[in-house]
């Protein structure tokens, strides 16, 4: 969580952050990601942690991932495109 605050402070005004992370729902999918929900993100949580960004895109979704043998298949992710105010 501290990393996100540092990312926001490092961005220049109008700077953009693009982020994709697994959501806790990913634990049901078995297609990769951290083994515990506490290491995952939700859209609501990211809105709080990325205070100072205006979300141009913010969505939780199911999508197919193909990122190597341990991260392949249907997954549940959160995607964000945020612009620093």
CB 64 within 8 A of CB 11: no
pLDDT at 2: 84
Over residues 59-85, the pLDDT tens digits come to 999 999 998 888 899 999 999 999 999
Joined together, the tokens standing for residue 19 give 């982020």
Six token digits for residue 47: 């809105």
Residue 6, helix vs strand vs coil? helix
- pLDDT per position as a tens digit, 12-55: 999 999 999 999 999 999 899 999 999 999 999 999 999 999 99
Three-state DSSP at 13 gives coil
pTM of the model: 0.92
| Residue whose C-alpha is closest to residue 75's, from 26, 24, 21 | 26
């Amino acid at each position: 969580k501290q990393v996100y605050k540092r990312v926001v402070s490092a961005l220049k005004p109008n700077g953009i952050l693009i982020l994709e992370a697994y959501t806790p729902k990913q634990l049901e999918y078995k297609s990769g990601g951290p083994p515990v929900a506490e290491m995952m993100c939700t859209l609501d949580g990211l809105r709080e942690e990325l205070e100072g960004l205006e979300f141009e895109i913010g969505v939780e979704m199911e999508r197919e991932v193909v990122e190597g043998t341990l991260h392949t298949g249907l997954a549940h992710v959160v995607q964000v495109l945020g612009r620093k105010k």
